[in-house]
Amino acid sequence: MNIARNFPLIIILMLFISAFSMPIMKSVRKIKAFGFVTMSISTILAGCNFLYVKTNGKFEYRVGHFDAPWGITFHIGYIEAIMGVLFTIVATLIIWYSFFSIDKEIKENRISLYYLLINILVGSLLGMVFTDDLFNAFVFLEVSTLAGCGIIVIKDKKDNITATFKYLVLSSLGSGLILMGIAFLYPITGHLNMSLIHESIMALKGAHRNILLISVSTFTVGLGVKSAMFPLHVWLPDAHASAPTSSSAILSGLVLKPPVILLMKILYKVFGFEIIGSFAILDVILILGSIGMIVGSIAAILQKEIKRMIAYSSVAQMGYVFFGIGLGNELGLIMAIFHIISHAVTKSTLFLVVGAMIEKTGSKKIKDLKGIGKEMPITLGVFTMGALSMVGIPIFPGFISKWNLALATIETGRYMFVGMILLSSLLNVGYYFPIVINGYFGEENLEGKVYKSKVMPMKRLIPVFILVGLMVMTGVFSLNIIDMIRQGLV
């Protein structure tokens, strides 16, 4: 009977309905304002939902008139509530930033389409996190893939189109595999609801082990494609580097995350630890994650364009998330979720800042960004904060997740992987710090640059500052967040 229980559903419905009223509107200003207002309202609703979960605990929400085996249910616990707040708030700030940058990057008659796609994208991502029904999650995944392709290709340049085609082909392969996993799972359990599938699997008592193994591996590969697990990440650098600035921030900060959460739910909620532990699937995820950390960082060092470098850094950071899942203990899983939060905030900040640098200097190359610290000191300062978080300096969230991941690794007794984390952090220093150092210091490249000549107007920097504030807050209040995630896991 409580109204606050409806908020997750209302957010998704409002985002979808408001998206389709945008093509009817005429003026661009109105469309932008409308997109921003709907996203802020959903942020407020997500915040209320979070407070409700915090006081009353987790709850199941029945969508429509039918109960679980027939209808769809939402499961709203701590993790889902935190993700709801995170996604809506980051999306609001990115939309705010995009007011000033989007006109220069895409044609004017496509702006309504752009905000339509963003609203649909965020709505489907939230739906994927909230839902408790496997097939519903699949449909939301497809919607988010198509909308994600849309916000890449909307720039309509050569690179965008080929990158989008690559993304579309690989992710349709992934979605085929996910549907295959559902098709293997449905006949032996007879349910699509996650908790009911878990009960049926437990009732099987060890029968049909091969089918379960096939199913869990197709799910892992399929969701791994969507969230750039190491050997399947080939679409990511092209897609994220060629997209418009605000799209890159959304794609890298938000779109990669819900498939991982869905994978966690499938591994630990649908199959349960007993069954997963008896297969080797967690070790595979662990090894792929750690290879991804190293290879992503090395590839980032070799890049010459700054956006491609940050995109490869995303591959490395997703490696940490998969590493945390693959450890197979509670702390590892908590840190995987915490790293999702910290990466979402940090990477969207970095992409926005880098987009501003590219716009002002007119070059994508790293070597042209030398001496940028004299021209745009505040912007490079924000970039430095993000880089420090990525590398893992105390106070910032990146440090906390790396430290705790190392602790979790020691807990399992696999000391070799602690070295992997250290090596990957050192490699992170190798590609973030040269930009910062060459930007601020260095004798020869500062000549001829006028101090603060290209500084951004203050109104454009406000959303970036709020994002940085969120990042620092995530680091400072990390113990509370970790505590809440731990309660949510049970």
Q: Minimum distance between the CB of residue 159 and other proteins, rounded to whole angstroms? A: 8
The site for other proteins (CB under 8 A) is made up of 1-3, 5-6, 9-10, 13, 16-17, 20-21, 23-24, 61-66, 135, 139, 142, 146, 149, 153, 156, 158, 161-162, 164-165, 168-169, 172-173, 175-176, 179-180, 182-183, 186-187, 192
Q: Minimum distance between the CB of residue 132 and other proteins, rounded to whole angstroms? A: 13
Q: Nearest 5°: CA angle at 310, between 394 and 96? A: 85
Do residues 238 and 163 lie in contact, with contact meaning Cβ atoms separated by under 8 Å?
yes
- Of 69 and 469, the one with the shorter C-beta distance to other proteins is 69
- Of 48 and 146, the one with the shorter C-beta distance to other proteins is 146
- Of 20 and 451, the one with the shorter C-beta distance to other proteins is 20
- Of 16 and 268, the one with the shorter C-beta distance to other proteins is 16
Q: Minimum distance between the CB of residue 10 and other proteins, rounded to whole angstroms? A: 7
- Of 144 and 478, the one with the shorter C-beta distance to other proteins is 144
Q: 64 Cβ partners below 8 Å, 6+ apart?
A: 71, 72
Do residues 346 and 399 lie in contact, with contact meaning Cβ atoms separated by under 8 Å?
no
Rounded CA-CA distance 201/203 in Å is 5
Q: Minimum distance between the CB of residue 470 and other proteins, rounded to whole angstroms? A: 30
- Of 189 and 428, the one with the shorter C-beta distance to other proteins is 189
- The residue behind tokens 């209302």 is 10
Q: Minimum distance between the CB of residue 270 and other proteins, rounded to whole angstroms? A: 17
Nearest residue to 213 via CA among 269, 282, 261: 282
Q: Minimum distance between the CB of residue 236 and other proteins, rounded to whole angstroms? A: 17
- Of 149 and 212, the one with the shorter C-beta distance to other proteins is 149
Q: Which two tokens stand for residue 120?
A: 């649909």
Q: Minimum distance between the CB of residue 84 and other proteins, rounded to whole angstroms? A: 16
Q: Minimum distance between the CB of residue 173 and other proteins, rounded to whole angstroms? A: 6
Q: Minimum distance between the CB of residue 329 and other proteins, rounded to whole angstroms? A: 35
Q: Minimum distance between the CB of residue 339 and other proteins, rounded to whole angstroms? A: 31
Q: Minimum distance between the CB of residue 479 and other proteins, rounded to whole angstroms? A: 35
- Of 10 and 378, the one with the shorter C-beta distance to other proteins is 10
Q: Minimum distance between the CB of residue 358 and other proteins, rounded to whole angstroms? A: 20
- Of 73 and 384, the one with the shorter C-beta distance to other proteins is 73
| Phi, psi (rounded to 5 degrees) for 205 | 55, 50
- Of 16 and 273, the one with the shorter C-beta distance to other proteins is 16
Which string of b and e fits 327-351 if b means at least 16 CB within 10 Å? bbeebbbbbbbbbbbbbbbbbbbbb
- Of 17 and 44, the one with the shorter C-beta distance to other proteins is 17
- Of 135 and 273, the one with the shorter C-beta distance to other proteins is 135
